[in-house]
Amino acid sequence: MATDSVAVQLTGIEKRFPGVIANHDVNLTVRTGTIHAIVGENGAGKSTLMKTLYGMHQPEAGTITVFGEQKVFRSPSDAIAAGIGMVHQHFMLADNLTVLENIILGYEPTKGGRIQYGEARTKLLQIMTQSGTHVDLDAPVSDLGVGQRQRVEILKVLFRGARILILDEPTAVLVPQEVDELFSNLHRLVDDGATIIFISHKLDEVLTVSDDITVIRAGTTVAEVQPKEVTRLKLAELMVGSELPSPHGRASEVGTLVRLQLDHITVAGPGDKHALDDVSFEIREGEVLGIAGVEGNGQFELCETIIGLIKPLSGTLAMEGENITHTSPHHRLMNGLSYIPFDRHREGLLLEAPLWENTLLGRDGDPQFLKGPFINATAAKADSRQVIDQFDVRTPSELVPAYALSGGNQQKLLVGRELSSHPRVLIAAHPTRGVDVGAQAAIWEKLRAARDAGLAVLLISADLEEVIGLSDRILVMFDGCINAHLTPAEATPELLGTYMTGGVQEVAS
């Protein structure tokens, strides 16, 4: 691979938003034919910088040079024309279309006004062979798991002729085996002449796969290092000024009171399949029950059933002995159930609304936020400021719209809102997804403190170290069923990954 030339050179980049300087005097040099990692705290400006390179917004100052030629990108189309493609953390796919239709959408080869599907298929088969990234071109995207969806996104940018690929948190929702496959494919792309830039919070992976690392702190570059020069502790210190945290903490004392119980829950799925098939478990006070599984194996339906958005075909749910199988979501929320959802954008936040309205979501029936029949905005804003302070949400004020926050700060606001309602049962789906190591440690500590106070937590996470470190018991979901019961002492990421991919069907231990 050619590493003696420069694929991307960013010099003195500055980007401002109202009340926020996202990037200031940022410099980045990416060598051709390498894998270049960008790390930093939430709100440090990593995604902003990459969106500037991708033409999603324009800098107030600085220059962008691609393969030795200075560029001004007014839109992603300009960046794509220059050979740059970006795979976002939140995939941008149309579920009602096939893989082939998604990949060519907006870039359809045509002849005489007709789309040349055969030509597109031939080109894609060649790309898949060269890159090692394979997926069924005729499958509906709605049927794909998260790992396959990511492959579709990568194939989209390759189909458009990208020679420089930007990947935002590419391993956030992958199991270990899928991570290994992704990294193998990335090395294959590099060997074929591509250049990879990726944002990640997983420092072990950064040190394993990257050729060069740029550290961004508070909107500017603070270090450029090579993996062989640093340990993960040193890298964490460069990022956040402290040692790398670990989810493994003090042991909990599980109580006797059953906070949440599911008995033989079955939920309808697509066609004749069941999204959940005879699922039973219980969570006691002061206990964290971890659920490991590749996304798309029933975890989402499990959460939606518990909060009351999906009605089961059979089985019962109970909270502290009360049958809640047929009660409304509002009844459940008002009686101590809380939910950190899978997708903060689609399910957790109103992006256009100010932060104080977002911290009020789901709590607007609480008497402390009411003045007669109306919302007490003064009380709601004061509560929002408290959440912002306690969870270190980096923002000028509670009046800022949610979309102005970085992804990690949005997540901290969301976690803070749910824990501030003092629930008895918390469903936590990927509670630290997209947050930096410092924020991750803070969220872990808040969850432990709430657990120690008697909270029952259902933890769903793609971070297997997090599942093992925080949980008192671990269940593995595959194809809508519980196919393994493990203790943290016997669980390893490799063993969990085997169960998660259906490698072993029988119950362990």
More confident residue, 249 or 123: 123
With 70 as the cut, is the pLDDT of residue 241 above it? no
Would you say 333 and 308 are in contact if contact means Cβ atoms under 8 Å apart?
A: no
Amino acid sitting at position 433 = R
**Cα 131 from Cα 147, distance rounded (Å):** 15
- The fraction of the chain above a pLDDT of 70, given in percent, is 95
More confident residue, 504 or 117: 117
Check residue 311 and give its pLDDT.
95
Check residue 245 and give its pLDDT.
59
Confidence of residue 89 (pLDDT cuts 50, 70, 90): confident
**Cα 389 from Cα 403, distance rounded (Å):** 19
Rounded mean pLDDT of 131-154?
Answer: 89
Show Cβ contacts of residue 210 under 8 Å, excluding neighbours closer than 6 positions: 35, 36, 37, 198, 227
Confidence of residue 255 (pLDDT cuts 50, 70, 90): confident
Check residue 243 and give its pLDDT.
57
Confidence of residue 434 (pLDDT cuts 50, 70, 90): confident
Judged by DSSP in three states, 269 sits in coil
Check residue 379 and give its pLDDT.
92
With 50 as the cut, is the pLDDT of residue 65 above it? yes
With 60 as the cut, is the pLDDT of residue 203 above it? yes
pTM > 0.85: yes or no: no
Confidence of residue 2 (pLDDT cuts 50, 70, 90): very low
Confidence of residue 504 (pLDDT cuts 50, 70, 90): low
More confident residue, 425 or 20: 425
Rounded mean pLDDT of 108-122?
Answer: 92
With 50 as the cut, is the pLDDT of residue 439 above it? yes
Check residue 249 and give its pLDDT.
62
Tokens of 315: 């089985």
CATH 3.40.50.300 in the chain is located at: 6-240, 251-336+423-509
Judged by DSSP in three states, 140 sits in strand
With 60 as the cut, is the pLDDT of residue 508 above it? no
With 60 as the cut, is the pLDDT of residue 3 above it? no
Would you say 359 and 380 are in contact if contact means Cβ atoms under 8 Å apart?
A: yes
Check residue 9 and give its pLDDT.
96
Judged by DSSP in three states, 180 sits in helix
Rounded mean pLDDT of 204-231?
Answer: 91
- The fraction of the chain above a pLDDT of 90, given in percent, is 58
Check residue 442 and give its pLDDT.
84
As a whole number, the mean pLDDT across the chain is: 89
**Cα 317 from Cα 321, distance rounded (Å):** 9
Q: For the segment 444-485, what is each residue's pLDDT rounded down to a tens digit?
A: 989 999 999 999 999 999 888 889 999 999 999 999 999 999
With 70 as the cut, is the pLDDT of residue 4 above it? no
What CATH code would you report for 251-336+423-509?
3.40.50.300
With 60 as the cut, is the pLDDT of residue 509 above it? no
Show Cβ contacts of residue 449 under 8 Å, excluding neighbours closer than 6 positions: none
Rounded mean pLDDT of 122-133?
Answer: 91
Check residue 507 and give its pLDDT.
41
Check residue 246 and give its pLDDT.
66
Q: For the segment 145-178, what is each residue's pLDDT rounded down to a tens digit?
A: 888 888 899 999 999 999 999 998 888 777 777 8
Would you say 443 and 430 are in contact if contact means Cβ atoms under 8 Å apart?
A: no
Q: For the segment 270-293, what is each residue's pLDDT rounded down to a tens digit?
A: 888 899 999 999 999 999 999 998
Per-residue burial over 303-314, b = 16 or more CB atoms within 10 Å of its CB, e = otherwise: bbbbbbebebee
Show Cβ contacts of residue 214 under 8 Å, excluding neighbours closer than 6 positions: 28, 36, 37, 38, 39, 221, 223, 224
With 90 as the cut, is the pLDDT of residue 17 above it? no
Domain 6-240, second-level architecture: 3-Layer(aba) Sandwich (3.40)
With 70 as the cut, is the pLDDT of residue 389 above it? yes
On the 0-12 / 13-18 / 19+ scale of CB atoms within 10 A, 447 is buried
More confident residue, 406 or 85: 85
